[in-house]
Amino acid sequence: MNPRYKITVSYDGTAYSGWQVQPRNRTVQQEIEKALNQITGEKIRVHGSGRTDKGVHARAQVAHFEMEKNVAVKSLRIGLNALVDDDIRIINLAKTVPDFDARRHASSKEYRYFIWNADLVPPPLRMYRTHVPSPLDVKRMRRAAKQLIGRHDFAAFTANAGRELETTIRHLTELRIVKRGSEIAIVAKANGFLYKMVRSLAGFLVRVGDGSIEPGEAKSILASKNRTCKVATAPPEGLFLWRVTY
């Protein structure tokens, strides 16, 4: 059995069509696999803890892979970082147990969605903060967020990815709003997330914050199990995969 490796990857998703390999688009997974091929000569599949969409970033994505060639982990990490572009960095690489699975063994994930709530976005932040110029009432957003915490069917807060799911029930253990000056961060932690679920939660909370929707509607939207225009998908640039816990 070939050794299995666990990696933690940080990336700026601006230039990529997401994490997962796609036939005609450049992705983060594809770039790492290409670098591994250059180092080892092997065709290696890298398995991530989950997908991120086009333009979404990661502070700490976790993945695993196997390879035949014996390369010291320090040299392998240095080699990978030398071959991938500067907007991808392997921040940790280590051998792991043979059955480690980055997706199946994850106990929770944390995403953070960043909003810049002011007239103008500072240019260095424009690809990492979603601009909302109209004033947002954080107290209203927090009241709505509290109603969404817990084990619920989040069918109303996911987009149709064209694939069937066993269940749309997820346990959202944390959904809090942090405001620092013009920056508002939505911190979401759960045992797993549905397709575009965090961006849907963020889009809904923004509409609550600007007064378009009442905070109390969170419960009725959950109960409906149907996606409606009340739940908008927020833009991708404000979203970061922050942490994966095992």
Give the other-Cβ count within 10 Å of 105's Cβ. Answer: 16
CA 45 → CA 56, 65, 89, distances in Å? Answer: 21, 6, 18
Distance (Å, rounded) from C-alpha 158 to C-alpha 162? 12
Q: Which residue, 227, 228, 229, 158, is CA-closest to 190?
A: 158
| Number of neighbouring beta carbons within 10 Å of residue 159 | 15
**Furthest CA-CA distance within the chain:** 58
12 is catalytic: no
Q: Which of 53, 85, 87, 210 is catalytic?
A: 53
Whole-angstrom distance, CA of residue 106 vs CA of residue 104? 6
Best CA proximity match to 167, nearest among 154, 180, 176: 154
Query: Catalytic residue positions?
Result: 53
